């Protein structure tokens, strides 16, 4: 792990009534990516936002949009998220869709592809796809809601994936998503994550604290 730690604030925790301003403020505060949590009320028990929302705020910054699709099916919606301006699209292997086909479709648009793995999913599920992946997202909460408690078993998964990535696919980024805070960030960085998603923690204290919160998450 040689690159600098990246922070990808989740706009799920932002004020949706001024989403464009929030995106601009996060970029100004030093965010590396904008993490967009897309929930369909079927794969996860919550509904958040779709491609039209992404499109409406995409021009507020030039930093990459890191789109996390918690949806099933996946394939019918990929083109729309690409058109809306996604730079990275992560999907879940737990969905009942053809994962390889979905990854190929994402990559065919020159968009980066990721797999996000749930707390109950073995890390080895990524192995058949390593040659095609740009990012692996370890979920440290059961997806569906922001503000949940970090599941410590994710640390072991991070360590095993860090080793695998370093050994054979060092360009793959390793992202942690869910329940990250100032108390657990040190152990998360030690375990080898290099992209940190943070919703609640980024937004704590309001806009004046965004830059400070983001900087503190870099360790």
- Which of these segments, 26-34, 59-67, 105-113, 174-182, binds Zn ion (CB under 5 A)? 174-182
CB of 190 to Zn ion, least distance (A): 22
Query: CB under 5 to 8 A by kind: which of ligand DX5, Zn ion, none does 13 bind?
Result: ligand DX5
141 contributes a contact to ligand DX5 by CB under 6 A: yes
Contacts 24+ apart (CB under 8 A), 93-96: 93/117, 93/121, 93/125, 93/126, 94/43, 94/118, 94/121, 95/43, 95/71, 96/72
The residues near 190 (Cβ < 8 Å, ≥ 6 apart) are none
Question: Considering beta carbons, is residue 37 or 94 the nearer one to Zn ion?
Answer: 37
Q: Judge whether 34 and 65 are in contact, CB under 8 Å.
A: yes
Instruction: Choose which of 6, 7, 11, 13 interacts with ligand DX5 (CB under 6 A).
Output: 13
CB of 191 to Zn ion, least distance (A): 18
118 contributes a contact to ligand DX5 by CB under 6 A: no
90 contributes a contact to ligand DX5 by CB under 6 A: no
Instruction: Choose which of 200, 209, 211, 216 interacts with ligand DX5 (CB under 6 A).
Output: 200
The residues binding Zn ion (CB under 5 A) are 37, 68, 177
Kindly list the catalytic residues: 37, 177
The residues binding ligand DX5 (CB under 6 A) are 10, 12-13, 35, 37, 68, 141, 143-144, 146-148, 177-180, 197-201
């Amino acid at each position: 792990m040689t690159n600098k730690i990246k922070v990808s604030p989740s706009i799920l925790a932002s004020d949706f009534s001024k989403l464009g301003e929030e995106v601009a403020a996060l970029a100004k505060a030093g965010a590396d990516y904008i993490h967009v949590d897309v929930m369909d009320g079927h794969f996860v028990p919550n509904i958040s936002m779709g491609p039209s929302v992404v499109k409406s705020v995409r021009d507020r910054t030039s930093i990459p949009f890191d789109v996390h699709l918690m949806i099933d099916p996946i394939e019918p919606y990929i083109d729309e998220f690409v058109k809306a301006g996604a730079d990275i699209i992560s999907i879940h292997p737990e969905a009942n869709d053809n994962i390889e086909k979905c990854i190929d479709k994402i990559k065919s648009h020159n968009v980066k592809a990721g797999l996000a793995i749930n707390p109950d999913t073995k890390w080895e599920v990524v192995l058949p796809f390593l040659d095609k992946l740009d990012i692996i997202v370890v979920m440290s909460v059961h997806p569906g809601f922001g503000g949940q408690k970090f599941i410590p078993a994710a640390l072991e998964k991070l360590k095993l994936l860090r080793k695998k990535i370093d050994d054979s696919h060092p360009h793959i980024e390793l992202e942690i998503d869910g329940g990250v805070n100032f108390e657990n960030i040190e152990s998360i960085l030690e375990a080898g994550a290099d992209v940190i998603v943070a919703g609640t923690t980024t937004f704590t204290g309001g806009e004046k604290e965004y830059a400070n919160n983001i900087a503190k998450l870099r360790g």
